Amino acid sequence: MAEIAAQVLLGLPWTIAVTALALAIGLVLGMPVMLARRSRWPWLRFLTGSLITLVRSIPPIVWLFLIFFGIGSGYFKISPFAAAVVGMGLISSAYMAEIYRGALLSIHSGQMEGASALGLHPVRVWIDVVAPQLFRVALPAMATFAIGLLKDSAVSSTIGVPELTFQANAQSMATYRGMEVFSFVAAVYIALSVPVAWLSRILDRRLRAKVSR
């Protein structure tokens, strides 16, 4: 069993890499998507809203297949890892945009009006006034999403990324001990999500202390 566990854990860096990179893409791209979603032009709002619905309505595994087999089997070769990161990154951008948008709704419009009335440049209003509050409000939802993403990264095993679930599958086939193997890998996922939840609680407390109330 220790041998099997060691083999399965070889997938751990891949799981963490897919999750972390996809989350990073979502954290960055989610911002412009959210801004486009509440642009002053109705056509851009509609376009972004439709794209977000499109991304969220198609299951992650279908996105990964579309990218890896659909696009990647032509002249444009793409590695399983790159396909997984691009696909999961796409999905997390759409989700993060909605999380940012929800958090922004909770920031009183007087904050922005007050800041611009004081003569702050619009960019500074966003960086110094809106963003710190936005991240604080969005943090719990972001942590929940990150844990969800960690579990969704298991899907990348289907296109051959050698992460935890992929290794578990290989071990289950090699040893015929599926029961132990899959129980172990489930425990690893649960163990991984505990520190994320814990970290988010600590960060939440710190951000709360930094920004008033």
Partner 1 sequence: MNVLFEQAGNWLPHLWNGLKLSLGVTVASLLIGLPLGFLLSLGVISRSRAVRYGALAVVEIGRGAPSLVLLQFAYFGLPSTGLVFSSFAASVAALSWSTAAYSSEIIRAGLQSVPAGQSEAALATGMTRLDTMRFVVLPQGLRIAIPALLGFAILIFQTTSLCFAIALPELTSRAYEIGTNTFQYLPALTLAGLLYLAVCVPATLIVSWVEARAAS
Site for partner 1 in 189-208 (CB under 8 A): 189-190, 193
Of the candidate residues 71, 130, 170, 196, the single one contacting partner 1 (CB under 8 A): 71
CA end-to-end span of the chain, whole Å? 50
Region of 58 on the Ramachandran plot (φ > 0 left; ψ -120 to 50 alpha; else beta): beta
Nearest to 114, CA basis, from 103, 125, 105, 124: 125
Q: Does 105 bind partner 1 (CB under 8 A)?
A: no
Q: How far apart are CA 61 and CA 87, in angstroms?
A: 9
Of the candidate residues 152, 161, 167, 200, the single one contacting partner 1 (CB under 8 A): 152
Helix (H, G, I), strand (E, B) or coil at 132: helix
Q: Does 91 bind partner 1 (CB under 8 A)?
A: no
Which residue's structure tokens are 């002249």? 75
* Contact window for partner 1 (CB under 8 A) among 2-10, 29-37, 92-100, 152-160: 152-160
Which residues sit at the interface with partner 1, rule CB under 8 A?
53-54, 56-62, 65-66, 69-71, 73-74, 151-152, 154-155, 157-158, 165, 168-169, 172-173, 176-179, 181-183, 185-186, 189-190, 193
